[in-house]
Chains A and B, each alone.
Chain A
Amino acid sequence: MQISPLENVYNKVLFFSFFLILLVMQNAYSAGISVDAGLTPSEKRWIFREQIRFNSRSEDPSMMNREMTQNSLMTVLAYGLKRDITLVVKQMYMDMDMQMGGNTTKTSGFMDTGLLIKYGVFRENTASRILGAAATLEIELPTGKKGISSETWDLKPGLYFSMRKGNWLGDFSFVYTFNGVGDSSKTKTIPGDQFSINTAFAYQTTLGEGADKALAYVLELSHEKVYTSHLNSKAVRNTGEDMTLISPGLKLTISSFVTELLLQIPTSQNQKGNQLKRDVGGLFGIRYMF
Chain B
Amino acid sequence: MQQKIISTIMFLTIFLSFTGCATKEKTNSLSKMYPNMQIRTYEVFGMDCPGCHGGIEKLVKEVPNVVDAKANWDEKKITIVIKKEATIEDKTIFEAIKRANFTPGKRIQ
Residues of A within 8 A of B (CB): 36, 39-45, 54, 56, 69, 80, 83-84, 120, 123, 125-127, 130, 164, 169, 204, 206-216, 250, 252-256, 258-259, 261, 263, 279-282, 284, 287, 289-290
Contacts and interface: CB of A to CB of B under 8 A. Distances in A.
B77 to A, nearest CB: 10
Given A45-B55, A125-B45, A125-B46, A40 B26 contact: no
A212 B58 contact: no
Contacts of B74: 206, 211
B50 A208 contact: no
B99 interface: yes
A80 B55 CA distance: 10
Given A42-B59, A281-B5, 9 more contacts: A42-B52, A42-B101, A43-B59, A43-B100, A211-B74, A212-B26, A212-B53, A213-B19, A215-B16
A210 B75 CA distance: 10
Contacts of B105: 127
Interface string B1-35: 11001101100110010011001111000000000
Interface residues of B, number: 41
Nearest to A217: B13
Contact of A39 (B2, B48, B103): B48
A252 B16 CA distance: 8
Contacts of A43: 59, 99-101
A127 B13 contact: no
Among B12, B20, B24, B25: residue with most chain A CB under 10 A = B20
A281 B49 CA distance: 27
A80 B102 CA distance: 14
A209 B23 CA distance: 7
Contacts of B98: 83
B76 A214 contact: no
A257 B81 CA distance: 25
B51 A253 contact: yes
Contacts of B69: none
B12 A250 contact: yes
Shortest beta-carbon contacts, A-B, top 6: A208-B23, A210-B26, A42-B55, A125-B46, A207-B20, A125-B103
B93 to A, nearest CB: 15
A25 to B, nearest CB: 16
B80 interface: no
A206 B76 CA distance: 13
Contacts of B99: 42-43, 83
Interface in B36-54: 43, 45-46, 48-54
Contacts of B48: 36, 39, 130, 164, 169, 204
10 contacts: A39-B48, A42-B100, A44-B58, A123-B101, A126-B103, A127-B45, A209-B26, A211-B26, A211-B75, A213-B50
Contacts of A80: 55
